[in-house]
Amino acid sequence: MFLLLAIVLLFLAYIYTTRNHDYWIKRGVKHDTPLPLFGNHFRNVFAIKSLTAIANEMYKKYPDEKVVGYFTGVTPNLIIRDPDIARDILNVHFDHFYPRGLGRDHKKEPLMGNLFNVDGDTWKLLRARLTPAFTTAKLKAMFPLIIKCAEKLDKLGKDIVNKGGDFDARELMARFTTEFIGACGFGIEMDTINNENSMFREIGKNVFKRSLRDVFLFGIWELFPEVRGMVTIMEKDGENVFIDLITKIFQQRNFKSSGRNDFIDLLLDLAAKGRITGDSIEHKEADGTPKKVEMDMDLNCLIAQVFVFFAAGFETSSSATSYTLLELALNPEIQRKIQDEIDQVLLKHDNKLCYDSVAEMTLLDKAFKESMRLFPSVATLHRDCAKQYTIKELGLTIDPGVKIIIPIQALQTDEKYFDNPDVFMIDRVIKEDATRQKYIYMPFGEGPRSCIGARLGQMQSLAGLAAVLHKFSVEPGKKTQRKLKINHRLNVIQGVVDGIPLKLKLRDK
């Protein structure tokens, strides 16, 4: 009897954990055979392969397909290989794909109530209210704070040289970007650049560090959508430290702008405008017009936006700038050309970094963008299908709940679009017409959910790179590796194991 019961239970478990695995077979979409319970997601659940690595692998495995199927447990995913389909999903038919589908409950995890994570009307209203915080005028007003942080790199660079020159570019630029976030975000002089053990650097490390506990909980969260409401991933201690810190900063300013022109000031100015109102992206009236919706920017909402400014700002920029330094160390002729341009531009501006001088450094800008092509900080874009949608060129209809993965690193390193795609070339041309180019190269995303802070992140990154390269040169060190060792525990952003070791030298001008 017991054996029979066990067989029945195993059979029912098999049926339950494979119940949707014929989804892509029915629609004629090529895919790897899914496993019971895991689907195709086994390697990611156990941190053997990051989602970026898996998406890149699937992109290359099916070179003749415009889309490829994938399963996270029983949830069907569609990997997009075609730029035109990517354009329709990200922009043209955005109303069908407005959710990112990250699914975190910001009532239980308050810091997840940020612009990157929320969906639907909350996202739409927040995006409309926050967009004015990133205008050119606001960036120029904030730029002196960026320059103050960049200038601190000079002392640290000389200390590194005096100790032999070996350094971790990933750590150096993370300390710079954390310092920047402190000054431009919180109005705090963190001195993270000169203090490798600063509290803020530790907070930054912990935001993207995934322990075995985190890996386990993410696995449960992804494989069993039914229990997501019961799973909280962010550790409460770290969450409370951040919430208490930002609350005190708001209180010190009496919840009013202080005139520093930092992100806290910008948020307080926006919150002072009162309730956010707008047209719903989720709900319509009987006549088909959007319903009117509204929300308040309460304290939890404000803190969540500061959190994503901190987390996304320091991690993506430090990743992009350190990888740029790696490529320049491996390409010294390009590095010298960029340094000559930096010298010439700064001569016109009293040898001082400023918004206008950084904007004139076109070769540095090209090098940064080429680095983002080869190694984008965020290498996959994610959307959820919100309502039934047909990809007309394929005659393929997908249902609400299907997850979309756009593997931007795979697109950006495809020889179909780039000659010698693995080679660092700052004067590179995409082999496509202008209307498709931005859906082949999109390190900051595209469409209404593209990165709202892209220009700020780029200007901050260029300022940091210019500050380093004006005074120093980078070279390969004894431990430098051309091919980085990827941290497969990370999914949202790309991380590397053992940093990016390089050698720093004073320039001989």
**Sequence ranges of the binding site for heme:** 451
Element (H, E) at 366: helix 362-374
Dihedral pair phi/psi, residue 34, rounded to 5°? -80, 155
CA distance 27 to 416: 27
> Among 183, 164, 186, which Cα is nearest to 175's?
183
Annotation: binding site: 451
Q: What spatial distance separates the first Cα and last Cα of the chain, rounded to whole Å?
A: 86
Distances (CA, A) of 472 to 154, 264, 441: 9, 33, 30
CA distance 436 to 430: 10
Where residue 270 falls (left for φ over 0; alpha for ψ -120 to 50; beta otherwise) is: alpha
DSSP letter at 255 equals T
| 71 close to 31: Cβ distance less than 8 angstroms | yes
At 372 the three-state DSSP class reads helix
Helix, strand, coil: what percent of the chain each, to 5? Answer: 50, 10, 40
The DSSP line for 146-189 is: HHHHHHTHHHHHHHHHHTTSEEEHHHHHHHHHHHHHIIIII---
